C-alpha cells in the first residue's frame, strides 16, 4: 500500500500474488480498487493461493487469475487480454468484513 500511495497517479495495473508475507493479494487489490476503481488487476498463485481464491469467490479459470508456474509469454498474453477487456477487476464475492 505504501508504494501505491506514493505512486497512485502512475499505477494503472496491479499484478499480485494471492499469498503475501504480510497479508494477501485479494485484500491488497480490494483496498487499492476502492481508491482507484479503474485499476486493472491480475492475481497469480500456486496451489496454496487457490484455497484463498475460493474464499474470495475468484474463479480459478477467470481472466484475472494466472496459476503458477507460468511463462513470460503467458503473463504478457494475460496482461494484454485484461487491458483489452471492459472488466478491469474480477467479480469477487467478498467476505462481509471487507465490504464494510
Instruction: Please state the pTM of the whole predicted model.
Output: 0.81
Residue 19, helix vs strand vs coil? strand
Q: Which residue has the cell 487480454?
A: 81
Domains of the chain: 2-99 (3.40.50.2300)
How many Cβ atoms are within 10 Å of 58's Cβ, its own excluded? 24
Task: Note the pLDDT tens digit of each residue in 25-84.
Answer: 888 888 898 899 888 999 998 866 666 667 776 665 678 888 899 999 999 999 999 999
DSSP code of residue 64: T
Grid coordinates of 59 = 474463479
Q: For 26, what's the count of Cα atoms within 13 Å in the CB-facing half-sphere? A: 24
Q: Please state the separation of Cα 80 from the chain's center in Å.
A: 15
Q: Tell me the average pLDDT across 3-32.
A: 88
Amino acid at each position: 500500500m505504501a508504494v501505491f500511495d506514493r505512486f497512485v497517479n502512475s499505477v494503472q495495473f496491479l499484478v499480485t500474488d494471492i499469498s503475501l508475507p504480510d497479508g494477501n493479494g485479494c485484500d491488497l487489490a480490494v483496498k487499492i480498487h476502492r481508491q482507484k476503481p479503474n485499476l486493472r488487476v491480475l492475481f497469480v498463485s500456486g496451489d496454496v493461493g487457490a484455497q484463498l481464491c475460493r474464499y474470495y469467490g475468484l474463479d480459478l479459470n477467470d481472466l484475472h487469475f494466472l496459476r503458477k508456474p507460468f511463462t513470460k509469454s503467458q503473463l504478457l498474453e494475460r496482461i494484454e487480454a485484461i487491458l483489452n477487456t471492459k472488466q478491469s477487476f474480477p467479480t469477487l464475492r467478498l467476505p462481509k468484513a471487507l465490504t464494510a
